[in-house]
Chain A
Amino acid sequence: MPPRRIDPIGDESDSDVSIFDDFDESGRGKGKGKGKGIDRNKKDKGKGKAKEQPYAWEASYTRSWDTVQEDEAGSLQGAVADLIARGRRRRLLAPAAAIRRTIIRHLILILDLSSAMMDRDMRPTRFDLMLQYAREFVTEWFDQNPLGQIGVVGMRGGLGERVGEMTGNPQDVLKAISERHKLEPSGEPSLQNAIDMARASMSHLPTHSSREILVVFGSLTTCDPGNIHDTLAECVKDRIRVSVVALAAEMKICREFCDKTGGTFGVALNEGHFKDLLFELIPPPAQRAFARASSGAPANPAADLMLMGFPTRLPETSAAGLCACHSQLRSAGFLCPRCGAKVCDVPTDCDICGLMIVSAPHLARSYHHLFPVKPFQPVMSLEGTQNPSVGCHACAAPFKEQTAGAAGAADGVSPLGRYRCAECHNDFCTECDVFVHDVVHCCPGCGK
């Protein structure tokens, strides 16, 4: 096969796409909408401004086709495999230090329902894509934050509109955003009205829980009744963290909201990047700096010791009894460990003695954020290791014998495909390395 020249535009539209779809969204050079225009601009005119960083929010955006190198045979396979391995390891290298995380979370999801959402620069429309990702976001969010609550507010026709009440039940939230015809976009959005509404619905929450607002913003304008900087000041005062995912471009007021309240701001470059930006907000945030500053005082208002009960679950087959919450005759339920009252569902507060009843698995779901698995060290060479293991310690897949080329040596990628746990000195394959850190959160060798 003759060596093939890599053409940036041609490459982005065929072979690269399928691979980077899954593994390296941010590195994907898809030229939908703005991206494409910029590329042409760069190619045709090569003007200084468009050359390196066309827009401020694209600064961290690397063009994968610039970094891909062919090997001697002119094949891209090695380079692609390397990129995939790199993309997998990228997240694992993030510091696993921040142990103070807010775990009882309250989030208001603000969805832009203005006419700008009917734009088709994201397929099928911004609006449909937003709804689809919002559903996935809610499911994943509740999976990782079982004690959290989500409310939904829409921005439409210059008003803030309550779409779903704050609730801890993922089904209720999903139901609120499932009916597309009720959310049909129209008119102008109003950032101030929506944020004020979100703020008001979170004002009664206890201090030890987090208050967050996530705005999905497609419009480039906002139509506000007053001074939005007052709203910003109120949010800072109430310690509400505002994060914005913009679909069009960076707006100064959005950036300011995020910077001042400690949230994150991002502009979605393409469909995959949009999803990445949303899903980055799922893990519980590390506690903010100024909350820690106030903990210097003897009593930290942001933290408290809570009394919680772990109930016993009664099966469907047990003798029926009246539940304490609805006074209905039911056989299934949970028994309060302190007063023995029967409640229908957990987590809840016992109606008789007021004890907070949670099931232990609810709490345990969050523990992997607190006790992360230490990153495995890539094994660079087998020198100095006495009789190295033949296969992966976890899945027993045999390791490859030869090195995978010098290109993979940097960037925390092992040329041997071996990753070693610092505690138990067992070797794991790439597959298990990622699986252990992303899903299991427990090293098979040392059980920690």
Chain B
Amino acid sequence: MDRASHLSTIVDLSPAQWTLSGSAPKERHSLDLQSFLSQLLIFLNSHVACKDQNTLAIFGALPGRSVMLYPSTTQAAGSNSADANTYRPFKVLDSTVIDSLSKQVEALDASETEAPVGLVGALTKALCYINRVAALATENDQTVAVDPRILILSVSPDQSASYIPIMNSIFSAQKLKVTIDVCKVYGPDSVFLQQAAHLTGGSYIHLDRPDALLQYLTMSFLPPPSIRQLLAVPTQDKVDFRAACFCHKRIVDIGFVCSVCLSIFCQPVPVCSTCRTKFPIKTLQRLNAARPTILTSAATPTSGNASTFPSSTTNRVATTNGNGPNPNGVR
């Protein structure tokens, strides 16, 4: 309880998704970027206020890249004049975040606003930062920054292409004993982030009422993981352990796996694209025969655009239906 904690926050700043989120009808309790930021800043301030030694880092995932918003690399925060009505650390935090955020957003090119956000970059940067903070702490023989954790505020859907880097980051977080919390502010459930929270012992919360963000944040994400064991923090009811295939980056629940390198394919292939292993023709025939037929017809039209993310529910239904008639096709 008495130990200080470190919090790295990753903010998903996809302009397209935030526009969608803000323009949703009022009765759906929509949340726009402005009120999101003001609620987030209150949460971050309360983290700093909880304990003197608490540390904080904020990373922004922008389209195609990622930046560190706080602590700022360029020293600009000191120039602000002191405000008699504000606690100074709050003031420094707020102005730094808002300054660097507006700088980054202004630098955004209109053409790249549609690009997928650099979530992987932000996540790995957060891990590197925690690694450095932890190394410094052991060097100075202090016990600062124990219980490091990462909070991801996500609005974008999963990018299947970044499956491997995200999983790698999750495993390194496990190794560093970093808890990853996920708050899905807008959009469909994210399979990868669900796995991230599950594997690192964090919580994944999909907001039913995004406009009440601050309440969700303070109730579930403010207490450090060591205290959460004593609290009833919302847990996930279902975790999806599905993977993305290597050939079309599609999310599959039954896949064909190369025995040499464990590459996942959504359809039987004669040669593994990763390790160039040739598979026996007998296996191919056997697997092709056992394959559910509906999957084939569903796969053909989408195979053209590899980057699309198929709706997980329809995909799932198709496979279950397809497998219904011949459950013992293989073996």
Which residue numbers of A lie inside 8 Å of B, CB to CB?
Answer: 99-104, 147, 208-209, 287, 295, 298-315, 317-318, 334, 337-340, 346, 352-355, 359-361, 363-368, 370-371, 390-397, 431-432, 435-436, 439-448
Contacts and interface: CB of A to CB of B under 8 A. Distances in A.
Nearest to A341: B327
Contacts of B54: none
Contacts of B258: 303, 305-306
Nearest to B72: A396
A125 to B, nearest CB: 31
B277 A100 contact: yes
How many of chain B's residues touch chain A, expressed as a range? 35 or more
Contacts of B264: 308, 363
A367 B283 contact: no
A360 B164 CA distance: 11
19 contacts: A305-B256, A307-B254, A309-B255, A312-B242, A317-B237, A318-B237, A361-B167, A365-B171, A370-B263, A370-B275, A394-B125, A394-B129, A395-B131, A396-B73, A432-B128, A439-B172, A439-B175, A440-B168, A447-B120
B50 interface: no
B86 interface: no
A355 to B, nearest CB: 7
A363 B167 CA distance: 10
B303 to A, nearest CB: 19
A337 B330 CA distance: 14
B283 A304 contact: yes
Contact of A337 (B125, B175, B254, B287): B254
A338 to B, nearest CB: 5
Contacts of A102: 260
A440 B260 contact: no
A348 B170 CA distance: 23
A310 B171 contact: no
B313 to A, nearest CB: 12
Which of B131, B252, B260, B279 has its CB near the most chain A CB atoms (within 10 A)?
A: B260
A444 to B, nearest CB: 4
A364 B167 contact: yes
A353 B265 CA distance: 20
The residue in B167, B198, B283 that gathers the most chain A C-beta atoms within 10 A of its C-beta is B167
A207 B62 CA distance: 47
Given A103-B260, A353-B327, A354-B328, A444 B128 contact: yes
B172 A305 contact: no
Contact of B172 (A101, A396, A440): A440
A391 B135 CA distance: 17
B290 interface: yes
Given A310-B252, A314-B238, A363 B257 contact: yes
A310 B254 contact: yes
Pairs of residues from A and B, 6 with the lowest C-beta to C-beta distance, nearest first? A360-B243, A394-B128, A208-B259, A364-B167, A299-B280, A337-B253
Contacts of A442: 120, 124, 164-165, 168-169
B327 A339 contact: yes
B278 interface: yes
B190 interface: no
Given A100-B261, A103-B262, A368 B256 contact: no
Interface in B187-238: 195, 198-199, 235-238
A41 B249 CA distance: 63
Given A306-B257, A441-B168, A442-B169, A300 B327 contact: no
A448 B129 CA distance: 18
Interface string B158-177: 00001111011111100110
Contacts of A305: 256-259, 265, 268-269, 279, 283-284, 287
A17 to B, nearest CB: 19
Contacts of A339: 323, 327
Contacts of A439: 127, 131, 172, 175-176
B208 to A, nearest CB: 18
Nearest to A447: B120
B242 A360 contact: yes
Contact of B260 (A302, A309, A445): A302
A313 B236 CA distance: 10
A299 B128 contact: no
B112 interface: no
B261 A370 contact: yes
A352 B243 CA distance: 22
B329 to A, nearest CB: 8
A295 to B, nearest CB: 7
A354 B326 CA distance: 12
A440 B176 CA distance: 10
A99 B275 contact: yes
Given A100-B260, A360-B195, A432-B131, A444 B73 contact: no
B279 A444 contact: no
Given A304-B283, A338-B323, A353-B328, A312 B238 contact: yes
B241 A208 contact: no
Indicate the member of A338, A370, A371, A446 with the most B CB atoms within 10 Å: A338
A395 B59 CA distance: 11
B75 to A, nearest CB: 11
Contact of A300 (B238, B280, B319): B280
A440 B281 contact: no
A104 B120 contact: no
A287 B254 contact: no
A354 B330 contact: yes
Contacts of A298: 278, 280-281
Nearest to A435: B131
Nearest to A307: B330
Contacts of B254: 307-310, 337-338, 355
B280 A304 contact: yes
A313 B239 contact: yes
A365 B166 CA distance: 11
B253 A310 contact: yes
Contacts of B259: 104, 208-209, 303-306
Nearest to B276: A100
A336 to B, nearest CB: 10
A308 B264 CA distance: 9
A431 B139 CA distance: 13
A367 B245 CA distance: 13
Contact of A312 (B241, B260, B268): B241
B73 A303 contact: no
Interface in B68-124: 68, 71, 73, 118, 120-121, 124
Contacts of B330: 307, 353-355
A203 B259 CA distance: 18
Contacts of B240: 312-313
A293 to B, nearest CB: 14
Given A363-B243, A444-B128, A303 B278 contact: yes
Contacts of A318: 237-238
A437 to B, nearest CB: 11
